[in-house]
Amino acid sequence: MQNYKLTLCYDGTRYRGWQKQGNTAQTVQGKLETLLSRALEQPVEIAGSGRTDAGVHARMQVCSFRADTDRSCAELLALLREYLPEDIGALALEKAPERFHARLSAVRKTYIYRVWNSDAPCVFERKYVYAEPRPLDLDAMRRAAAQFCGRHEFSAFSTGKKTGRAATRTIEAIGIERCGEEVRLMYTGDGFLYNMVRILTGTLLEVGLGERRPDDMEAILASHSRASAGFTAPAQGLFLWDVTY
């Protein structure tokens, strides 16, 4: 069987996340597997670089799958583009090395969280940003974010059950920039725990609002307690932005 690498983008608004569940029609993975399995007349299982939660979007999601087919990559890509719903886009498809795996082979991922920081309504982007109308102290947020960079146990910033080494990740950089009325938080690291980016974002927003001090971050990390960190920022502002192999 040939191994394939598929690059996608999608609007996660109406999906229950990436990972297939009982109702596969409402997940991105389920949509893809159903389409390819029917078109190729064989079971197709797809692995994604990351399991985005319900409502989270992807500018770049990388997948891998195996199939036995005489169709060319161009033909398979055309098939996906014709039959996938309009909120899932097939960007590229290529043959991959035998050992390539979309998740296990990834060395770096980047997520972006978009915050609409204005009291003016954000009508046309409302499905893709979190609205916080109060002023944000970006310098304080940057000082707090700097304490997350490096290798740490991030169990305080996850709603999952992993602890210790299983909850240890390396964050290479966190960038916080204003683009007009929008504030963008960019996270780059070797991997992220369940809800980790959204909880980091909620905590940094609380710093920006003056509800927490930048110096509190070290104590939150050391606590290993979810209750010590900030709120979980809503899903719609989060994008899987880039994956590096």
The single residue of 53, 137, 215, 216 carrying the catalytic annotation is: 53
CA angle 227–228–231, rounded 5-degree value:
70
Residue type, 26: Q
Tell me if residue 112 falls in helix, strand or coil. Answer: strand
Q: Is 11 a catalytic residue?
A: no
Q: What is the residue type of 203?
A: T
Which pairs count as long-range contacts for 102-106, CB under 8 Å and 24+ apart, including other chains?
Answer: 102/5, 102/47, 102/48, 102/49, 102/62, 102/63, 102/64, 102/243, 103/47, 103/48, 103/49, 103/50, 105/245, 106/49, 106/50, 106/62, 106/191, 106/243, 106/244, 106/245
Please state whether beta strands 57-67 and 238-244 pair in parallel, antiparallel, or not at all (unpaired).
parallel
- Which residues form the catalytic set? 53
